[in-house]
Each structure stands twice: as C-alpha cells, then as structure tokens.
Amino acid sequence: MRLGAIRAYMLKEFIDLKRSKMIYLVYLLPIMILILFGYGIRLEVTHARTIVIDQDNSKLSIDLAHAFMHSKYFDTKILPITPDEALASMKRAKTDIIIIIPPSFEKNLLKGLKSEIGVFIDASFPLRGRVMQGYVQGVLLNKASEYLPPQKIPLILINQRLLFNQAMRDENAIVPGLIALALLVAPAILAALLIVKEKEYGTIFNFYASPLSKAEFLIAKLTPPFVLHSVNIFIAFFIATYIFDVPFRGSFALFWVASELYVAVAVGIGLLVSIITRTQIAATVLAMLITIIPSFLYSGMLMPISAMEGGSYIEAHLFPVMYYSYILYDTFLIGQGLQSSTIILYLSILALYGTGLILIGSKLLKKELS
C-alpha cells in the first residue's frame, strides 16, 4: 500500500470534481430529494373545498355549518344551491366535499328523533377521500354530541395515545425515510460515475498500465464519494430538524455511525454498478433504478415493514434500506438507542453489508480491458 499514490489519486479526484462542477451535484441531489419530497408528499389535506347546503336554517344547523368554517382543513362556503348543482360542481373538480343538512334537523334532534346528514366526498384520489371522510366525521360527531339530550347512551370513548409522532405530522413520518433514500441514491451514483467516467474517457488506462494495485485504486476512488457524502449526513440532519422540525430523540452518535455505514453500503452499490456498465448514462440509470424504488418501498415511509407479507417481506430484508431506516426512525422519533438489541443487530448487518459489497466489488474489478 503506497499512501503517496493513493493521496495523489484522491487529490486528483477532488480537483476534478470541483472543476467539472460535479461537486454541485453531490450536494444538490440529496438536498433536492429532501426538500422537494419533504414538501411534496403531504398525505394530510388542508383547505378542502367544502359546500354546506343548509336546508334547515336553524340555529343548530348554522352552528354546525360554522364548525367547518373555523378549521384549516376546510375552505367552507354555505350556499343556497340544490344538491344537483353542488354535485355538478364536484364533477368539474371544483368542490371536494358537500354536506347537506336536511330540513327540520334541529326539530328532530331536540325531539330525539333520528336525522340524517348527507355527506358527499370526492374520492377520485382515494386516500384524500378517506382522510377527508375522517375529518368530516370528527367535526360533525363532536359538534352534534354537544347537543345531545342528556339521556343515557352507552358510549365507548377512545383514549388514544400516539407514540413517537404525537402531532401526527407527515414530516415526522416521511423525512427520515427520505434521508434513507437520499443517502443511498446520491453516493451510489457518484461512486459509479467516478469509475465509469474513466472507462468512458479512456483515462482508465492510467490505472491499467500503472503499478497501482487494485486496492490502492479502490481506496482512491471510493474515499471521495464516501467523504463528500458524509457531509450530507449532517446536511440531512439539519434539514430534517430545522427545516421540517422533526424531533430528534435518540443519540446523535448512533445516527452518525449508522449513517456512515449506510453511505459505505451505497458506495459499494455504486462500485458494483460501475463494474457492469461502460457509459456514464448507463451507470446513472442503473444506479437510480436499483436504489430509488426499494428505498421508497422498504424504508417504511409509506408502509410499515410489519404490514408486509411473503415476497415483499423477504425483499425488504434483502435491501439495506430497511435496516438503516429502522435506526433512523428510532433516533429521530423513538430514542431507544443501543438498549434495543434489534438496533445492535441491524447496525452489524449494515457493517457486514458494506464490507461485503466492497469485497465482492474488488474481486470483480479487473485490471485489464474487457
């Protein structure tokens, strides 16, 4: 191992990255992923366009309608139109919710008679429909129970305790998963490009024809993406906690160590990609293909791993994303840290994964034309 040679090669990589402006890509891509997706994926619905048709016009019905006016979830208009007109407006995608309070609503309620409130929800975006349904039910039932006659009805009240994400913020649920996405995609692409670029331009001959050993070459090639993306660990942490206000309850040291191991895994994936591709474009596409979809699926960001079955349960365990994002969600939202044996196990799996990939990669790398 000749340190001088490695240092010179690495220095060249840094100068090259800086002068070819690729360094911007190193930092722009993860930041863009975090910011865009972080702001972009909102499962919560606010300002749903709501029409209330009050056919009763009683104190109670007006009160009920007003309950919708003072909520960030609804943009409510009380309109004197027919249900058909309201439905036509919904068909033109101008309205999301229609609430119809029937005539003699107040009278019936006071008499203790049953009355029926009609609710129409545009469920073309199904999730949005579900969420809006929940909001509407909550508001109506709460408001209505205030007016209930004081008679005995056996009720089961739900005493909910939300763990980890009390405010049920989308940011808390999604941003840690996005970190797992960003820190996999970007280092993998960069590591792959650094090697494939030399293949495509022909400068790879400098390695082939020199006494530089494979190990020296790999250290020189893989250290820059590793080091540069280590900075992204801190940037991601900053974006999550300051910009998206995600709480951080665990140990920063654990977060940091796990992230470094994960970046090493990503770099290892990049190395494998660079071995089977010849052009930069192919390397980029392949690196993206094998990192983005698994990250979305198995980070737990959209679906808990415990809810998976069969094939996808096994696949989730094959990709590194699941192990890292488990530690991520723990350090951000839960905070068990090293007391949990699962975390120790997953940490070691990440370490093994990284070493394994780089070992396989160095076995497959050839110091000759192929």
The residue (of 87 and 355) whose beta carbon lies closer to another protein is 87
Report the SS3 class of residue 152.
Answer: coil
Contact positions with another protein (CB under 8 A) in 320-349: 326, 329, 333-334, 336, 340, 342
The residue (of 127 and 356) whose beta carbon lies closer to another protein is 127
Residue pair 284/192 in contact (Cβ under 8 Å)? The answer is yes
Strand pairing category for 74-78 and 97-101: unpaired
The residue (of 283 and 357) whose beta carbon lies closer to another protein is 283
Determine if 4 is a binding residue for another protein (CB under 8 A): yes
The residues, ordered by sequence, that sit 6+ positions from 126 with a Cβ below 8 Å of its Cβ are none
At its nearest, how many Å lie between another protein and the CB of residue 261? Answer: 20
Task: Please select the residue that binds another protein; options are 62, 67, 81, 130, rule is CB under 8 A.
Answer: 130
Report the alpha-carbon distance of residue 240 to residue 163 in Å, rounded.
19
Residue pair 49/33 in contact (Cβ under 8 Å)? The answer is no
Contact positions with another protein (CB under 8 A) in 252-291: 280-281, 284-285
The residue (of 135 and 357) whose beta carbon lies closer to another protein is 135
Report the alpha-carbon distance of residue 259 to residue 347 in Å, rounded.
10
Determine if 368 is a binding residue for another protein (CB under 8 A): yes
The count of residues interacting with another protein (CB under 8 A) is 121
The residue (of 97 and 264) whose beta carbon lies closer to another protein is 97
Determine if 1 is a binding residue for another protein (CB under 8 A): no
Task: Please select the residue that binds another protein; options are 26, 51, 53, 136, rule is CB under 8 A.
Answer: 136
The residue (of 236 and 264) whose beta carbon lies closer to another protein is 236
At its nearest, how many Å lie between another protein and the CB of residue 277? Answer: 13
Q: Segment near another protein (CB under 8 A), from 222-230, 249-257, 265-273, 302-310?
A: 302-310
At its nearest, how many Å lie between another protein and the CB of residue 259? Answer: 18
Task: Please select the residue that binds another protein; options are 57, 58, 133, 355, rule is CB under 8 A.
Answer: 133
Strands (E), 201-360: none
What does the block give as tokens for 76?
Answer: 């409510």
Task: Please select the residue that binds another protein; options are 54, 76, 128, 323, rule is CB under 8 A.
Answer: 128
CA nearest to 13, candidates 271, 197, 152, 150: 197
Report the alpha-carbon distance of residue 275 to residue 258 in Å, rounded.
26
Which residue intervals of 202-251 are DSSP H helices?
A: 205-208, 214-238
Q: Site map for another protein, 226-245, x if CB under 8 A? A: --------------------
Q: Segment near another protein (CB under 8 A), from 38-46, 221-229, 265-273, 353-361?
A: 38-46
What does the block give as tokens for 211?
Answer: 């006494």
Report the alpha-carbon distance of residue 266 to residue 187 in Å, rounded.
6
CA nearest to 143, candidates 66, 204, 211: 66
Task: Please select the residue that binds another protein; options are 34, 90, 264, 271, rule is CB under 8 A.
Answer: 90
Report the alpha-carbon distance of residue 335 to residue 136 in Å, rounded.
34
Contact positions with another protein (CB under 8 A) in 107-126: 108-109, 112-126
What does the block give as tokens for 25?
Answer: 């890509």
The residue (of 130 and 351) whose beta carbon lies closer to another protein is 130
Report the alpha-carbon distance of residue 121 to residue 321 in Å, rounded.
37
Residue position matching structure tokens 């009390």: 166
The residue (of 193 and 357) whose beta carbon lies closer to another protein is 193
Q: Residue 220: how many CA atoms within 13 Å on its side-chain side?
A: 21
Give the largest Cα separation in the chain, rounded: 96
Q: Segment near another protein (CB under 8 A), from 155-163, 221-229, 250-258, 349-357?
A: 155-163
At its nearest, how many Å lie between another protein and the CB of residue 350? Answer: 17
Determine if 82 is a binding residue for another protein (CB under 8 A): no
